[in-house]
Amino acid sequence: MDLKQLCQQVTIVARNAGSFIKQESATFDRSKIELKGFNDLVSYVDKQAEAQLVEDLRKLLPEAGFITEEDTATERGENYNWIIDPLDGTTNFTHGLHHFAVSIGLMEGEEIVLGVIYAPMMDECFYATKGNGSYLNDKQIMVSDAPALKDSLIATGFPYYDFELTQQYLQVLGSFMATSHGVRRIGSAALDLAYVAAGRFEGFFEYNLNAWDVAAGVVIVQEAGGKLSKFTAGGNYIFGREIVASNGNIHQEMLQTIAQNWKQADA
């Protein structure tokens, strides 16, 4: 399989879905918001964008299965699976904030080998394939060379429905606030990871994530020279519900900061 050629086609698919989302954002009616759970929002825009993505991606790679947020397609492939978030940052979208993205990852076996993240309101398309580097709108990107946490800007995501670990999270957050240039929360894990890859953030951490939140960003960070793990040094950060991403230089400091404040339920 020619991953580079496939990736070019996937960027077109992502841009098409993003164009639909951008068009709908101009006239979106909040009364059309649905609740999947407490503070877990979804709209017809998510669902229609996902249906469009599944249809287009199925044409590109008929043998691949799907892992999708809105369950448009649930069949799994034997070797290849698309992992899709049609609108990462739905809450931002419904409130008229422009930080949201289409996220598409391709998993071969247990490894993510292709990732595309498209932010339609900024017209920024981040993409990578295994062994071929990471790019933003056709220009290669690399992680920041900041040497230490004290030189870094950190991104995170706040809990929005599971508040059981809020106190531990706030302790971690406070520690990062006191030892870095600051902490930002933009509301899209996919973009947080893309921004680490592009050197805009030095690090990102979050828990209670799903595979579709991180799959595309994982390979983009890796191919930009970054490092990923769970809140401990190992573990499955794609399906493990938590992730730490960094420029590599500050990774151990990030893990130490988290470990000092977080009781790890699943090491």
What DSSP letter does each residue of 117-133 carry, written as one string? EEETTTTEEEEEETTS-
Residue 32: the pLDDT is: 67
Quick: pLDDT tens for 8-38. 999 999 999 999 999 989 987 776 666 555 4
The CATH superfamily assigned to 3-141 is: Fructose-1,6-Bisphosphatase, subunit A, domain 1 (3.30.540.10)
- Residue 63: how many other CB atoms lie within 10 Å: 9
pTM: 0.93
> What's the confidence (pLDDT) of residue 197?
98
Query: So what's the pLDDT on residue 36?
Result: 55
Task: Give the pLDDT of residue 222.
Answer: 98
| CATH placement of domain 149-261 | 3.40.190.80
pLDDT beneath 70, residues of the chain: 31-42, 160-162, 263-267
Write out the H or E segment, with its range, that includes residue 172. helix 166-179
pLDDT at 256: 95
Give the per-residue pLDDT at 144.
98
Query: Where along the chain do the CATH 3.40.190.80 domains lie?
Result: 149-261
| C-alpha dihedral, 45 to 47 to 51 to 52, nearest 10° | 10
Range list for CATH 3.30.540.10 in the chain: 3-141
pLDDT of res. 267:
39
pLDDT tens-digit series, residues 126-160:
999 999 999 999 999 999 999 999 999 999 998 76
